[in-house]
Structure 1
Amino acid sequence: MITIEDLKLLKDVEVEVRVELSTIVRNFEFLLNIKEGDIIPLEKSLEDFLIMHVGNIPFAIGEMTNINEKYGIRIVDLIKEDV
């Protein structure tokens, strides 16, 4: 069994944390025609929840927030998977 003390040994290990805003599928011609200043509509609204991944594993659900002119994610739930 893994203990809290075991986990503390990992505290300095760097991990990739990624928040996916949206995914869209378009054809290659769409990419060829993109110009600076174009706006690409996404399928999510500002109110939709976002998924935070640690590595490739979904870790938390959050909502977009803006604090002091910086974007962030407010965690609303942790994703609990049985391992």
Structure 2
Amino acid sequence: MEQDDDVIGRPGVLLVATRGPAAPGEVVVSVRGGTEAFLAWSDEPLPKGATVLVIGSRGTRQVDVIEWADPLDALGGSPAAAG
């Protein structure tokens, strides 16, 4: 199956922990006006509930993720939240 470019660069939350390259977890990502679930692969194990960033697509509803923190959260929230 073809790579899903729409999901790359989107943040998500792990519903199921990843076990690094040994086994995928599951991530829910806001994309295409809704939320979608994907199998999530990572280089290092990541816990359930971790915020991640999708850095690649493997096609067939599988993505590569890294742990991620929204830089706007570190600054006290996004501008939309302040307004």
Q: TM-score, with normalisation over the residues of structure 2?
A: 0.27
Larger radius of gyration: 1
Structure in which a larger fraction of residues adopt strand: 2
Q: TM-score, with normalisation over the residues of structure 1?
A: 0.27
